Structure 1
Amino acid sequence: METAQLRIVFVFTDLILPLLIGYYIHQKKWLSGEVCNWLIKFNIIIVCTVLTILSFWVLPLTLELIWLPVFGIIFCIIPGLISAFTALRRYQNPLDRGSYLVSSMLSNLGTLGGLCAFILYGEIGFAYAQMVGIFQNMVLVLFCFPLAQYYYQQYTATTTKRTLHLDFRNMFLSWNQLPVLGMFLGMFLYWADIPRPAILSTVFSSLIHIGAWTALLPVGYLINLHAAQKYYHKIFDLVPIKFILTPLVVYIMITHLFTDQIILGTMMVLAITPTAINAVITARLFKLNVDLTIAAFILTTVIYLLIVFPLLFFYITSGNTL
């Protein structure tokens, strides 16, 4: 695993730089939206699946790990409950309220959280992050989508409109679920005591950087600063919810469940992750306020990359325990 001095460089080269270049490419119109969609699919179907297989292949299976997928749901529930009170008070328009709630609930656990966990703890941290993210799609489909649909129907204020149909079969049984199969395959290889070839460690280290760029460059491409700027002050209260209240509650919980410092550190990395791009996708799908979700994504991501994660990085790499 790389030294701490080298890994901190990844914060810029693998997190900030692809976002900036993706945004610049969009401004110059060098790539089409179809190409960016292809990059997103390539990242999920190919890169994430291979990375998941390789990381779980060397992951020791313990009873503690049973709790990790549960926290993927808890990470949504805590900010969701807190922001529900704020949404009722601040947002009268159902479209704004729905966008605000999904922005608070959905966090970038898999892509950004996984990469940051790798920067701190290598392959094991990445594997832990993927385990936590197992139930994220379930929360998205079974709760966030119906919630968004409810607020859209509340906005239309009529029951005569055509009801939006959710194809749950295609949502759960799609190529996007391949990383979950990769996780089980990696677990089987570890359980079967099949040694992983040493060369695959090099492959993993190279692929993690490719995965960062294929995931975050399209995100930068989707950013519309002009449309989102009028919402920054309205959603600023997501900052203490995401970066103070949620990690505080999570910290109290995990210190009573885990003793392993890598698990504790990874969980804290994930507890403070910013709003996920899935919030934007949900808003677009159900005709909520897309610009509000984009503002939430940009604001929380910038604060996370420039302030929150660097502080956590230096705290942990300085030898402090959680």
Structure 2
Amino acid sequence: MGVLIIIDILGPLALGYLLKRAGIINDVFCDRLIRFNVLVMMTVLNIMSFWVLPISGALIVVPLLSVFMCFISCLMASHFFSSIFSDERDKGALVISTMLANIGTIGGICAYIIYGEEGFAYVQLFAMPQNVLMVACAFPLAQYYYGKYASNASDMQWSFNFRQMFLTRNQISVLGMILGLGFQFFEIDRPAAVGWFFHYLVHILAWVSLMPVGCLIDFHGASRYLKKSCVLIPLKFLIVPAIITGIARLYTNDSILLGAILISSATPSAINAVITARLFKLNVNITIAAFLVTTLFFVCILFPVYFLYAG
């Protein structure tokens, strides 16, 4: 297990960081790698994993829990944790870091290690609303915090664009889920070779998705906020997972589904928080610090505990 974590999570992060600092890869290459991951890798893997996912009524609850997790994290962070900062841009960066989580990649890899393809599919279902939440919730909230900083929050306006929010090519992996569930519903047998191929694709996914993240890491700028970012540890890894899994237990007793929800609700901050902070002129270094602190805590402490408990 430890070897897989080093190879599939810490490995690509370190390689991306080193290659970017050495000037071997640039932002254009990273952007193309991100698009390939979102449009191709995630779509193919979703088809494969959802093809063998047991269909039940509890599946409807999974994405709803993801949305609820976003709101409860935001409310708790803004009311109880953001007070450690006085600048509204800093507060906004911290709150955004709690809203957006690295569910699909890190959560998916860890669920696959423990529960196999079924666990991976459940995590992807939990991660499905994240891109929508980024645009529908994180963007307006980031704009709100910057507006408070600029002292013109009362004059701000933002618009709802259905096409840009729900009908973009970044959502194509959802079609993979639907197609895989369709194969399952119509009882189309999945070839045995697909399971063998899936095993290797999961590891490729880790490198394709996490190498660009390593390129974005700036240790120098984030180092000033590492200590304060530790305030997220009890919120993201104890309070929120306890609430989400407690609710999930009311709807299902499936141990694999509950395990996947537990992993999903305790995943580290997403690099999308960094992107959001850049777009709306919040403190980017806080989001990077939050990503580093929560990712290291999850990989080095929390996930090994999950692995031993599940085993």
TM-score (norm 2): 0.95
Structure 1: which amino acid aligns with 2:256?
Answer: I
The offset of 1:81, in angstroms, is 2.0
User: Which residue, 31, 35, 46 being the options, matches 2:40?
Assistant: 46
1:11 to 2:5 alignment = yes
Counterpart CA distance in 2 for 1:34 and 1:167 is 27
SS at structure 2 position matched to 1:233: helix
Give yes or no for contact 2:83–2:91 (8 Å, CA) kept in 1: no
Structure 2: which amino acid aligns with 1:272?
Answer: A
1:103 to 2:97 alignment = yes
Could you tell me which residue of structure 1 aligns to residue 287 of structure 2? 293
Counterpart CA distance in 1 for 2:100 and 2:76 is 13
User: Which residue, 229, 236, 253 being the options, matches 1:259?
Assistant: 253
Could you tell me which residue of structure 2 aligns to residue 4 of structure 1? none
Could you tell me which residue of structure 2 aligns to residue 32 of structure 1? 26
The offset of 1:168, in angstroms, is 4.9
1:66 to 2:72 alignment = no
User: Which residue, 234, 251, 265 being the options, matches 1:240?
Assistant: 234
Deviations 1:97-149 (CA, angstroms, capped at 9, x unpaired): 11111101111111111111111111101110111112112221111111111
Deviations 1:24-72 (CA, angstroms, capped at 9, x unpaired): 1122111011101111111110000000001111111011111111111
Task: Name which of structure 1's ranges 83-92 and 156-165 shifts more when overlaid on structure 2.
Answer: 156-165
Counterpart CA distance in 1 for 2:245 and 2:257 is 12
Q: Which runs of 5+ in 2 are unaligned?
A: none
SS at structure 2 position matched to 1:232: helix
Deviations 1:150-195 (CA, angstroms, capped at 9, x unpaired): 1112222237999677755234222211100111011111111111
Give yes or no for contact 2:144–2:153 (8 Å, CA) kept in 1: no
User: Which residue, 170, 173, 183 being the options, matches 2:164?
Assistant: 170
Give the paired residue count.
311
Task: Name which of structure 1's ranges 122-131 and 169-178 shifts more when overlaid on structure 2.
Answer: 169-178
Change (3 A) 1:203 1:248: same
Change (3 A) 1:163 1:268: closer
Counterpart CA distance in 2 for 1:90 and 1:9 is 37
Give yes or no for contact 1:283–1:293 (8 Å, CA) kept in 2: yes
Structure 2: which amino acid aligns with 1:59?
Answer: L
SS at structure 1 position matched to 2:286: helix
Could you tell me which residue of structure 2 aligns to residue 181 of structure 1? 175
Deviations 1:239-282 (CA, angstroms, capped at 9, x unpaired): 11111111222232222222111011111111210101111111
Could you tell me which residue of structure 1 aligns to residue 146 of structure 2? 152
Counterpart CA distance in 2 for 1:75 and 1:308 is 19
Structure 1: which amino acid aligns with 2:234?
Answer: P
Counterpart CA distance in 2 for 1:14 and 1:282 is 25
Could you tell me which residue of structure 2 aligns to residue 23 of structure 1? 17
The offset of 1:291, in angstroms, is 0.7
Counterpart CA distance in 2 for 1:87 and 1:157 is 22
Give yes or no for contact 2:53–2:184 (8 Å, CA) kept in 1: yes
Could you tell me which residue of structure 2 aligns to residue 79 of structure 1? 73
Counterpart CA distance in 2 for 1:14 and 1:311 is 18
Could you tell me which residue of structure 1 aligns to residue 199 of structure 2? 205
Give yes or no for contact 2:93–2:277 (8 Å, CA) kept in 1: yes
Could you tell me which residue of structure 2 aligns to residue 130 of structure 1? 124
The percent identity for this pair of structures is 42
Give yes or no for contact 1:8–1:119 (8 Å, CA) kept in 2: no
Q: Which runs of 5+ in 1 are unaligned?
A: 1-6, 318-322
Counterpart CA distance in 1 for 2:153 and 2:95 is 23
1:57 to 2:35 alignment = no
TM-score (norm 1): 0.92
Structure 1: which amino acid aligns with 2:26?
Answer: S
Change (3 A) 1:190 1:233: same
1:313 to 2:300 alignment = no
Give yes or no for contact 2:140–2:158 (8 Å, CA) kept in 1: no
Give yes or no for contact 2:136–2:165 (8 Å, CA) kept in 1: no
